[in-house]
Structure 1
Amino acid sequence: MKIVVLNGSPKGDMSVTMQYINYIQNKFKNHELKIINISQRINQIEKDKKTFEDIIHEIKFSDGVIWAFPLYVFTIHSNYQRFIELIFEKNVVDAFDGKYTSVLATSIHFYDHTAVNYMNSICDDLNMNYVDYFSPEMYDLRKEDTQKNLLQFAQNYFNAIENKVITLKNYNPIKYSPNKYIPEITHHKIDVSNKKVVVVTDSLEDINLKNMIHKFRNSFSQTIELVNLQDIDIKGGCLGCLKCGYNYACAYTGKDDFINFYNSKLKTADIIVFTGAIKYRHLSSTWKRFLDRGFFNTHTPSLSGKQIGFIISGALRQIPNLRQILEAYTQWQGSNLVGFVTDEYDTSIEIDQQLYVFSCNLIKSSTVNYIKPATFLGVAGMKIFRDEIWGNLRFPFVADHNAYKALNVYDFPQKNYKSRIRNFIFMLMCKFPSIRKKIYSNQIKSSMVVPLKKIVEDTTI
């Protein structure tokens, strides 16, 4: 059978992900895996009608489609996302209808689940028969177990096509019919004091988004700067070249305006409000390009201590995966997520009220430098980066390693010698049944609160 592999790497055939595809091809020579480089050729695909039509023709007359890609900042590369937008915009969804599909994603497991979830939902929206996903660590192909499981993944996929198995649908279609938002309430103007507030958008074409941005900016006594990503000279998406790894020097340095915009506008801001309209279960590919290009900071947080909020036009409440991505992005950056405002309300008055409270909360939190503790989203993600930069990725990501040392990111538990000594003593004591019974029956619960009670009862704190 003939399977079309849509390659999401901007590096084309030089992709780590494609080595997994090549391994499958070498073991299943009776099937043809036709690789089409999507991300690497997106400019040609978008501009040349015949190129796009040829790809759709290959898909339409294939037996199945494999979406294969490396992870880029929580999901897929912006060029790959742009291709997905083109599928819907050019109304060629029928070419994917009923096709059996699977996802193969490579990464270091930093939010690979959100990438898989996103692609699964897109496949369901295209009415494809989604069989499964395979998401290994990028170099796991060297492991015998991974090789075995990869081949089983491929075999299951081929069997599903041959036997026309019934597949599970995991995502409902998005139902979104917004009311037109027209501001109605005039609130008392908020003083931003000496705080720098920046609003960033990707477009003002969506009327609800445009009006929400206007209402938000008019909530303040001072003029709030608005930056439209379409007005910034951005030559292209992340190249995946890793040139930034040594000292944050991007391959685009001096060639476009993105880095200057990021450094001069965002890094110097106290409050940043990101705004956009949802397109096919994510913010636009323009926004995704912003996230990808921000990787010139590599794995080092670049917006620490800032207040961040989101104004979104679209059915965010129906897309928890997108909300988690935005929450995780904020937490990983070491910023404080103030909240989300969307147009998912019955009346304009409700949106007015939400925007005003949102505006007040941004200023209040910034005034006292409030940062909520990170949840699993921020803590777990940073631990993955910590371990990878300490280990396998210290080179080429030398800049991260230096930053992590300075920021005390290398907080490995084995360095806590006091805890290790305490654990050793108690584990040794508990080898004696009588002592173990006394500790576990009478002492553990009360001892857990002792260090905290000392703080609570200390009147000097």
Structure 2
Amino acid sequence: MEENSKVLIVNGSPKGDLSLSLQHSLYMLGQEPSIDYRVAQVGEVLSDREFDKEWLQKTMADIRWCDAIVFTTPVYTMLVPWQLMRLFSLINAMGEDKIFKDKWATGMLTCFHYYDHLAEAWIRATCEDLGMHYIEGRTADNADMLKSRERKDMRFFMHSFLDSCRNKAPVERKFAPLPDTPIPRFSPSPRQGKTKKDDSFKTVLLTDEYQKKGNLSGMIEVFLEAYPYQVQVIDINEFPFESGCKGCLQCEFVGDCARKDGFQSFYIDLVNSCDAIVYAMNLEKRYLKPIWKLFLDRTFANGHRTSMMGKHTGYLISGQLRNLPNVREFLEGKDQVGKENSVGIVSDEYEDSAYLESLITDLARRLDLSILENYQKSKTFLGLGGQKIFRDLIYGMRGFAKDDHRFYRKNKLYDFPQRKVGNQMFNILMGIPFSFKFFRREAHKKIPEMYILQHKHIVESHRQ
């Protein structure tokens, strides 16, 4: 008699048994015969800075026991929660990464499809780096499981995954291994010493490394000297985090964060009082250093309100950014959805220290000009798509997400096309004649010229 397949659900949600994400995996596995499964409540246990060490040992034993892992998680700040990242970091620090090797894996992610592709990409790349066989996971809107068609697809997905696991089907690797070549050492020219700085604009520099011997500290010093304004430097390692975001939504319903470490006030006061923020960040493995995930998750204490709207940003990055396009997409998407004006990202992947120094100096120059002109760069799909997802989400939650709803109304973020009366009237009036083919044929001849008529008028009337 064939032995049952052993499956471990690694639940990254801090809500534990009350996790919506978990219900999806429980449903799918509950439909499968010939399996044994266990649940590791990673998000719930690792939410607190101090955790049960015996629990970690038991979870590692469960990983050794299983044939396959279903990483089950919500999406927090365009990625998995900090708590799930922490599990991998803890096991790596113990030198026990080998317990994942040759396990089969997939993901079950829930959110409103807001950058869920980046979250699964991180899970997949991390699994592949650990020698696991990762099969493309499933992402779901929060209400998907309530639909019979979605449940049918969920059952097929899990059955197919387990079938591949039992039959050891070949699995394609999606992400290339990260090269082990070190980042070139940055050796900037000697600093000229302190000069008097303008205090007319406030700039904050957030970092995970300051005044140390690493490349990032050198990059910060070059920026501070080149930038004409005073800068408040904050090392986020020094903030007394109580722990990670619990996903409890108290901030959404009541207004205040359930954590009592003062982060909510610290963050809101910081962004409300500054004109620009520069992020100086070290990369680690497939993402930023984990302290950044803790920090970014906790910024949700402001709900879905884009606290950085209209601010100017810049990035100094140390690490293999060119090999991590998903990290770049995260940074650019975060800025665009938040209606921030990012002047660019500078990484230290240059053999020529003088050239890197010139890039940092130019970043400081462009940030200065953007602040003076209050320039706002254009959006791509990264920003527009994300904003429309949030727009629809908040409008659908307006009955209880009062603060978010007021913010979206005040800032005219409810840009639904059906509310544009002129556009609606145009479509009604043109609907009748355009139902006739001969009219459409004649209109087709004239549309190219008509399409640019107003734009052409602006061009002509504003010639020098």
Of 18, 22, 35 in structure 2, the residue corresponding to residue 18 of structure 1 is 22
Aligned to 1:446: 449
Aligned to 1:214: 221
Of 52, 57, 64 in structure 2, the residue corresponding to residue 53 of structure 1 is 57
Cα distance in structure 2, aligned partners of 1:185 and 1:439: 67
Q: Does 1:457 align with 2:464?
A: no
Aligned to 1:243: 250
Aligned to 1:75: 79
CA deviation map 1:4-43 (0-9, x unaligned): 1110000111100111122123212431221101111116
Task: Report if aligned partners of 2:198, 2:230 keep a CA contact under 8 Å in 1.
Answer: no
Q: Does 1:229 align with 2:236?
A: yes
CA deviation map 1:74-112 (0-9, x unaligned): 011111111122233322221111111001000011111
Partner secondary structure for residue 423 of structure 2 = helix
Q: Does 1:203 align with 2:206?
A: no
Cα distance in structure 2, aligned partners of 1:12 and 1:433: 60
Cα distance in structure 1, aligned partners of 2:391 and 2:49: 38
Partner secondary structure for residue 135 of structure 1 = strand
Of 422, 426, 434 in structure 2, the residue corresponding to residue 422 of structure 1 is 426
Aligned to 1:116: 120
AA of the residue aligned to 1:270: D
Q: Which moved more, 1:40-49 or 1:202-211?
A: 40-49
AA of the residue aligned to 1:172: A
- Alignment of structure 1 residues 254-333 onto 2, 5 Å: 255-333=260-338
Partner secondary structure for residue 199 of structure 1 = strand
AA of the residue aligned to 1:386: R
Distance 1:117 1:395, change over 3 A: farther
Q: Does 1:134 align with 2:138?
A: yes
Task: Report if aligned partners of 1:130, 1:167 keep a CA contact under 8 Å in 2.
Answer: yes
Cα distance in structure 1, aligned partners of 2:460 and 2:125: 51
Task: Report if aligned partners of 2:200, 2:229 keep a CA contact under 8 Å in 1.
Answer: no
Cα distance in structure 1, aligned partners of 2:178 and 2:155: 34
Distance 1:337 1:220, change over 3 A: closer
Cα distance in structure 1, aligned partners of 2:92 and 2:399: 40
Of 181, 184, 191 in structure 1, the residue corresponding to residue 189 of structure 2 is 184
Task: Report if aligned partners of 1:45, 1:51 keep a CA contact under 8 Å in 2.
Answer: no
Cα distance in structure 1, aligned partners of 2:455 and 2:232: 44
Cα distance in structure 1, aligned partners of 2:346 and 2:316: 5
Question: TM (normalized to structure 2)?
Answer: 0.94
AA of the residue aligned to 1:449: I
Equivalent pairs counted in the alignment come to 457
Task: Report if aligned partners of 1:71, 1:115 keep a CA contact under 8 Å in 2.
Answer: yes
Cα distance in structure 2, aligned partners of 1:137 and 1:310: 32
Residue 247 of structure 1: how far off its partner (Å):
5.2
CA deviation map 1:367-388 (0-9, x unaligned): 1000112211111111111111
Cα distance in structure 2, aligned partners of 1:262 and 1:8: 25
Task: Give the unaligned 5+ runs of structure 2.
Answer: none
Task: Report if aligned partners of 1:201, 1:276 keep a CA contact under 8 Å in 2.
Answer: yes
AA of the residue aligned to 2:334: Y
Task: Give the unaligned 5+ runs of structure 1.
Answer: none
CA deviation map 1:159-210 (0-9, x unaligned): 0111011101000111141121121265897955511111101234671112
AA of the residue aligned to 2:328: R
Distance 1:366 1:82, change over 3 A: same
AA of the residue aligned to 2:87: F
Aligned to 2:38: 34
Q: Percent identity among equivalent residues? A: 30
Cα distance in structure 2, aligned partners of 1:425 and 1:187: 68
Residue 245 of structure 1: how far off its partner (Å):
1.2
Q: Which moved more, 1:240-249 or 1:91-100?
A: 240-249
Distance 1:278 1:407, change over 3 A: same
Of 364, 372, 387 in structure 2, the residue corresponding to residue 367 of structure 1 is 372
Task: Report if aligned partners of 1:98, 1:129 keep a CA contact under 8 Å in 2.
Answer: yes
Aligned to 1:99: 103
Cα distance in structure 2, aligned partners of 1:346 and 1:47: 43
Residue 248 of structure 1: how far off its partner (Å):
3.1
Task: Report if aligned partners of 2:201, 2:229 keep a CA contact under 8 Å in 1.
Answer: no
Cα distance in structure 2, aligned partners of 1:206 and 1:27: 55
RMSD between aligned residues: 2.1
Cα distance in structure 1, aligned partners of 2:393 and 2:455: 33
Residue 251 of structure 1: how far off its partner (Å):
1.5
AA of the residue aligned to 1:236: S
Aligned to 2:386: 381
